[in-house]
Structure 1
Amino acid sequence: MDTILTINNLTKKFGYLTAVKDLSFTINKGNVYGILGPNGSGKSTTLGIVLNVVNKTEGNFHWFDGNTTTHDALKKVGAIIERPNFYPYMSAYENLKLVCKIKGIDYSKIDEKLEIVGLEERKNSKFKTYSLGMKQRLAIASALLNDPEILILDEPTNGLDPQGIHQIRSLIKDIAKDGTTILLASHLLDEVEKVCSHVVVLRKGEKLYSGRVDEMISSHGFFELKTDKASELKALIESHASFSKIKEEGELITAFLNEPMNASDFNTLLFNKGIVLSHLVQRKESLEEQFLQLTDNLEQN
């Protein structure tokens, strides 16, 4: 598998504050990666370091095979790490012409990229007439002009309305389908769950997890249960090897699985023991619950 970016033991200190601490992860070609964490977790600092706009304190990183200088490698990278900065009284097309001039890119790319982001019909409209979502899509078109191997986006849906959020997320998925690797920083669990295949979870500059989103925690979900025989049900669950813990809220009993089990098998087992359920729902923990679990585990260690 082709490696796009390798980060080894990266640390960044601003005076007494450690923004990024001993961070290591690898980005491979063809996936959508999310750097997930609350504000102040080191996401933007990490992106700034690999894009050569922030100096690292310790550790190292390299692009592609490691034999390319960062300066040359960044010619194959498209990035938006701040709010788009276009001229308000110029059209979208004219603004992109300026970007092409600066980067030495042929103007023929402009229409192609405007079509990808759905702005072809508004290409002659002044930038100041654009909605926030359209401005963000124009910024993505600008970042795609050099046909980058990786597109880096910092909080791409920040400040957008629900329609704008939906459009940007759909656009990210479409760009990824065409083979472009994407790295996005987000504090939104929902965003990472919907858009990313892989995630690096940061808190206070430290990595809590790195890997596939669907394997973030080996969670097998839980059953929500109600029965007239609550004490018998709890006793059975507590003695059964498939369950890790049990939670009780009023009549509702929640039983957490530590290995796969389907609802019908569990229902049959209980029925054979004389326990009839009036309520049985099987659920999987959301990324949010898993994220909280990861955070709790870190605090306990």
Structure 2
Amino acid sequence: MKSTILSIKNLHKRYGKIHAVNDVSLDIQKGNVYGILGPNGSGKSTTLGIVLNVVNKTSGEYHWFDGTLETHQALKKVGAIIERPNFYPYMTAKENLELVCKIKGINYSKIEEKLEVVGLSDRKNSKFKTFSLGMKQRLAIASALLNDPEILILDEPTNGLDPQGIHQIRDIIKLIASQGTTILLASHLLDEVEKVCSHVLVLRYGEILYNGTVDDMIAHEGHFELQAEDMERLLQTLLEHPDIDKASEAEGKIIAYFKRNVEPSALNKYCFANNLILNHLVLKKLSLEEQFLALTQ
């Protein structure tokens, strides 16, 4: 059983009439990469702010590390970047990280190691003000990793970056995850979540629309296109399938939806067993983008 790093239950946050977070529940297990996905204003940042103790919740609860630690103790094991990185412009990357170590009581030996992770070792003696936006963001990640956190929380980590910067940050996130750190990131970019996350929580107007694995979200919605010589009998046979949800004929093909995951090979066997030879069988899956649009319409 994987240990639970963060458990959120029935979280609500209201600002006057605005229900920014509406009954959000989420369990974050060790070793996964979670994406909170939603358009701007969907409650992503507010949810992160609450668990990081910078925003007061209206109601609900959350527990860090199976509830074994008080929030302020637990946050010592968390690395987070929730706003623009705040470093001293005239100090070098290394000096800025030394300052963070001093404040947090961390050994300086961690600095080289973390600069290596984010690919900034060769720029450690450059002043922060000479860094591009992408490099500043990478230094912020290095800073958040100094205490070897069990979970790294990132709010829109690639916001404002050029394609190369985005690519570098995503590679770093994958690398950190591969080393066993749990990651929670908020994003409005589908592509980001599809490429780096194992799990996704889709929010709209503070409400959960989907919560599960990225693979399940993509696999969940799909349909088959089928053709055979005797289309009428094919339709009848499909409607008798134990897992059929609905099937109908359109443009010379039969479109079939199933209640649960059915393998194409199993469907082919089923038709063959009913003396139907298929001359067309295609499983059409929605991309995460199509799914997301369908959910958030």
TM-score of the pair, normalised by structure 2 = 0.86
Structure 1 CA distance, aligned partners of 2:38 and 2:207? 10
Which 10-residue stretch deviates more, 252-261 or 174-183? 252-261
Q: After the TM superposition, which residues 80-159 of structure 1 pair with which residues of structure 2 at under 5 Å, given as runs? A: 80-159=81-160
Assess, with a 3 A threshold, how the Cα gap between structure 1 residues 250 and 176 changes in structure 2: closer, same or farther.
same
Q: Is the 8 A contact 1:9 1:60 kept in 2?
A: yes
Q: Paired residue for 1:262? A: 264
The code of the aligned residue for 1:137 comes to R
**In structure 2, what is the Cα distance between the partners aligned to 1:214 and 1:256?**
18
| Matching of residues 227-238 of structure 1 within 5 Å | none
- The whole-number CA distance in structure 2 between the counterparts of 1:219 and 1:16 is 35
Larger mean CA deviation between 261-270 and 285-294 belongs to 261-270
**AA of the residue aligned to 1:260:** V
- C-alpha distance in 2 between matches for 1:66 and 1:41: 27
The one-letter code of the counterpart of 2:7 is: T
Please say if residues 8 and 25 of structure 2, whose CA atoms lie closer than 8 Å, have aligned partners that are also in contact. yes
Q: Shift of the alpha carbon at 1:212? A: 2.1
Q: Is the 8 A contact 1:91 1:123 kept in 2?
A: yes
Corresponding residue SS for 2:186: strand
Question: Hey, what does 2:20 align to over in structure 1?
Answer: 19
Distance, in Å, in 2 between the alignment partners of 1:227 and 1:200 is 40
| Gapped regions of structure 1 (runs ≥ 5) | 297-301
Deviation of residue 291 (structure 1)? 2.8
Contact kept in structure 2, 1:263 and 1:282, CA below 8 Å: no
- How many Å apart are 1:285 and its aligned residue? 2.1
Q: Deviations for 1:210-236, whole angstroms, at most 9, x for unmatched residues?
A: 222222376263335678987776676
Q: Per-residue CA shift, 1:98-141, capped at 9, x if unaligned?
A: 21122121211111100011110111122222222211111100
Would you say the 8 A contact 2:227–2:278 is kept in 1?
no
Q: Which residue of 2 aligns with 1:299?
A: none
Match of 1:181 in 2: 182
Q: CA deviation at 1:293?
A: 4.0
- Matched residues in 2 for 1:112 and 1:169: separation? 19
In the alignment, the residues of structure 2 paired with residue 8 and residue 217 of structure 1 have an alpha-carbon distance, to the nearest angstrom, of 26
Q: Give CA deviations for 1:182-213 in whole Å, capped at 9, x if unaligned.
A: 11111122221221112222111112222222
SS of residue paired to 1:139: helix
8 A Cα contact 2:150 2:182, kept in partner:
yes
Is 2:228–2:276's contact at 8 Å kept on the other side of the alignment? no
Alignment partner, residue 173 of structure 2: 172
- How far residue 245 of structure 1 moved from its aligned partner, in angstroms, is 4.3
Any residues of structure 2 matched to 1:40-51 within 5 Å, and which? 40-51=41-52
Q: 1:285 to 1:247 in 2, by over 3 A?
A: farther
Q: Bigger shift: 32-41 or 218-227? A: 218-227
Distance 2:210 2:232 in 1: 38
Which segment is superposed worse, 228-237 or 81-90?
A: 228-237
Per-residue Cα deviation, 1:155-202 (whole angstroms, up to 9, x for no partner): 111122222222111111111111111111111222212211122221
Aligned-CA RMSD value: 2.8
Name whichever of 43-52 and 265-274 sits farther off: 265-274
Q: Indicate the residue corresponding to 1:32 in structure 2.
A: 33
Q: Distance in 2 between matches of 1:256 and 1:39?
A: 33
Q: Distance in 2 between matches of 1:80 and 1:32?
A: 16
Deviations 1:29-48 (A, max 9, x none): 11111111111111100100
TM-score (norm 1): 0.85
- Give the Cα separation in 2 of the matches to 1:123 and 1:255: 58
Q: 1:8 to 1:219 in 2, by over 3 A?
A: closer
